């Protein structure tokens, strides 16, 4: 079945040619201009326009072109996405392979030092391992930097330290007995909210 803006089953070749001329004129199209181009009467073109619904066909054609353009843009975007994925995947694989080689080199150097009873150069090994693991983080998509978040809260407690120490460490009398513990006292405590440090 033809699309609405293509030639319809009961549409003559002349009527369709007139519609095509009308369609190709663009947004400023008019029956008068088609009549002048094709040497037809505006009345006849008006009958064809009404019978074959030129207005709806023009709208359908515009929507069809917009859809084709959207699909084409989407196709290009997909191609680019696949291309970027392949590029990134190759880089990730290379980074992982380099990391594995670096770790293997560190292990081999350490084994050699251990065989000879020498003290290995820890600083160089640490740098190589740091590089290796950074490469692995890049290859696996992990972040290479960890930002520290300071969540320390600062508060002050006002306590009678003498009472607290006596409760914790009772007084021992010369005969070795402990002094009787005083009756427990209730200490009022006040919550102190941390203050914001303003810079």
The closest of 71, 73, 66, 25 to 45, measured between CA atoms, is 25
The SS3 call for residue 135 is helix
Give the angle 132-138-144 at the CA atoms, nearest 5°: 85
Residue-wise pLDDT for 141-180, tens only, equals 777 665 655 555 555 555 565 665 566 555 555 665 555 5
**Of 7-21, 129-143, 152-166, 177-191, which one has max mean pLDDT?**
7-21
Structure tokens at 25: 């004129």
Q: Taking 60 as the threshold, does the pLDDT of residue 94 lie above it?
A: yes
Backbone angles phi, psi at 75, to 5 degrees: -65, -45
**C-alpha 195: how far from chain center:** 36
pLDDT of residue 109: 80
* 8 A C-beta contact, residue 61 and residue 5: yes
Q: Please state the domain extents for the chain.
A: 13-61, 69-140
DSSP3 helix / strand / coil % (the chain, rounded to 5):
60, 0, 40
pLDDT of 189 above 80: no
Question: How much is the pTM?
Answer: 0.43
Average pLDDT across the chain, whole number: 77
């Amino acid at each position: 079945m033809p699309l609405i803006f293509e030639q319809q089953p009961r549409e003559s070749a002349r009527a369709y040619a007139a519609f095509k001329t009308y369609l190709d004129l663009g947004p400023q199209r008019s029956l008068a201009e088609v009549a002048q181009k094709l040497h037809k009467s505006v009345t006849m073109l008006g009958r064809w326009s009404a019978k074959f619904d030129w207005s709806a066909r023009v709208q359908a054609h515009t929507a069809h072109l917009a859809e084709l353009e959207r699909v084409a843009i989407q196709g290009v975007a997909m191609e680019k996405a696949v291309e970027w994925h392949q590029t990134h995947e190759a880089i990730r694989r290379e980074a992982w392979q380099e990391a594995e080689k670096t770790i293997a080199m560190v292990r081999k150097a350490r084994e050699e030092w251990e065989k000879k009873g020498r003290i290995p150069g820890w600083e160089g090994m640490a740098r190589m391992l740091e590089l290796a693991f950074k490469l692995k983080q890049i290859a696996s998509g992990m972040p290479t930097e960890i930002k520290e978040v300071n969540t320390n809260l600062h508060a002050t407690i006002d306590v009678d330290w003498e009472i607290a120490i006596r409760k914790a460490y009772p007084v021992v009398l010369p005969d070795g007995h402990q002094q009787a513990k005083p009756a427990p006292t209730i200490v009022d405590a006040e919550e102190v909210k941390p203050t914001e440090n303003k810079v």
